[in-house]
Amino acid sequence: MEPEKLSIKEMHSGLVGKDFSAEELARFFLDKIRKEDGEIKAFITVTEDLALAQAKKADEIIAKGGDIPMLAGIPCAIKDNIFIEGVKCTSASKMLENYVAPYDATVVKKLKEQGAVILGKTNLDEFAMGSSTENSAFFVTKNPRDTSRVPGGSSGGSAAATAAGFCKFALGSDTGGSIRQPASFCGVVGLKPTYGAVSRYGVMAFASSLDQIGPFAKDAADCQTVFDAIKGRDPLDSTSLDSPEQKERLDIKGLRIGIPKEYFVKGMDKEVERTIREAIGKYEKMGAKIVEVSLPHTEYALPCYYIIATAEASANLARYDGIKYGSSEFNNPEVNGLLDVYVKSREKYFGSEVKRRIMLGTYVLSSGYYDAYYKRAQKVRTLIKNDFEKALSQADVLLTPVSPTLPFKIGEKMDDPLSMYLSDIYTISINLAGVGAISMPAGWEGDLPVGMQIIGKPFEEDKMFQAAMAFEEKK
């Protein structure tokens, strides 16, 4: 038996058919993590006792028979900025190195209700700020496809854990591409849902108007299974909504796939462009209708995003001051007064990328600059949203690259923040527009995956999944 190669549906059938137990599965994956994660470093915390207790409970549920949830006994991992009651939640920051979550995030509560088995918390860029998982305060996660390369970020630990077969699925957060870009780099499927489709309650906020929680899995069907389990309105998150049910089966023949002309420009790796164009050709052979569309404000997305995201981060991270939350220099004998506690605590325990974004965000919100930067960025955001509405009125879904490059080497871009920020150039517009997008492997260049992005209208995740599954079946 090779459990890491089974789909969720196959694993569910095996559990229900008593081919193996949830406890046996949990021990298999925990042992695999113990043996192999020393090199990959996907996990910050492994929750062995919790996993075995949940597996035992899942076995009891399965033994009773009846209507057994699809995720009962299925091993998973959770990004370490999502609360699990009684488990450390560090957001990969020294500021929260010893912080223990006081309650479950809504997505975790839903997984527990399904009987899922949580193996541990995965590494990320500190406070989800980064595109390579090199900004973690603890260690760098490596890409299982090539350990000299980054897994992407900020949800690199969840993507790497899924790709390495350490879990059947994982949860991540996506503020500007933090699920889709690492999914692309690690050769797995990752969904950034429509804004509001999944509750953010119990998730450490980076930029509240952009953040969304979504799943990683080996294929689109597994990804959809997890999404169906965690989606829906939550009274604890006023921005959340119920997704309308879509029962109709998508017919690829005649499906209008929009290709934004602005996404195929100078600067893209030739290997990436070739693979994406081959994927477009495959859809065309399946009977899809390829139409060119325009997203004319794409060039403004990057500066617009980094103004809005940093402004919101500046406000959200103000709570980590050494008094209300976080590691503190309060007892440092060199501290002189309350202001000094704030300054020295934040100076010592925040990493350089977090400091950079807080400073930028505070600047654009400051008196005299608010109108010139933040207010103008919000107006541009509206134009970007309008671009997507128009493009998606001319096509059923859009197809684009996820990243302009193949996974880059560890350390390659750490001294060039702007180059790192450009890694998200194809993903950030989706968060600004609030629509959903799924990243999946379009093909491979040697051992390295190339990801493509399928973008849909708000709350039409089912259509995106069906388009993705049709491509997987023809590969």
Q: 283 pairs with which residues across the strands?
A: none
Place of tokens 């990328």: 353
Task: Tell me how far apart the alpha carbons of residues 213 and 195 are, in angstroms, rounded to a whole number.
Answer: 9
Task: Tell me how far apart the alpha carbons of residues 214 and 173 are, in angstroms, rounded to a whole number.
Answer: 6
Nearest alpha-carbon partner for 72 in 53, 94, 54: 54
Task: Tell me how far apart the alpha carbons of residues 320 and 346 are, in angstroms, rounded to a whole number.
Answer: 7
Burial 369-398, CB ≥16 within 10 A → b, else e = eeeebbebbeebbeebbebbeebbeebbbb
Task: Tell me how far apart the alpha carbons of residues 117 and 129 are, in angstroms, rounded to a whole number.
Answer: 28
21: annotated active-site residue: no
Task: Tell me how far apart the alpha carbons of residues 183 and 200 are, in angstroms, rounded to a whole number.
Answer: 20
367: annotated active-site residue: no
Q: Please give the structure tokens belonging to residue 403.
A: 């990243």
In one letter, which amino acid is 441?
P
DSSP 244: P
Nearest alpha-carbon partner for 78 in 33, 108, 41: 108
Annotated catalytic residue: which of 32, 41, 79, 112?
79
Rg of the chain over all Cα atoms, to the nearest angstrom? 21
439: annotated active-site residue: no
Angle between helix 220-230 and helix 8-16 axes, rounded to 10 deg:
70
Annotated catalytic residue: which of 93, 132, 136, 154?
154
Q: Phi first, then psi: what are they for 40, rounded to 5°? A: -75, -40
Nearest alpha-carbon partner for 96 in 354, 375, 336, 270: 354
Q: Please give the structure tokens belonging to residue 304.
A: 């617009």
Annotated catalytic residue: which of 178, 184, 314, 423?
178
| Tally of CB atoms within 10 A around 173 | 27
Catalytically active residues are 79, 154, 178
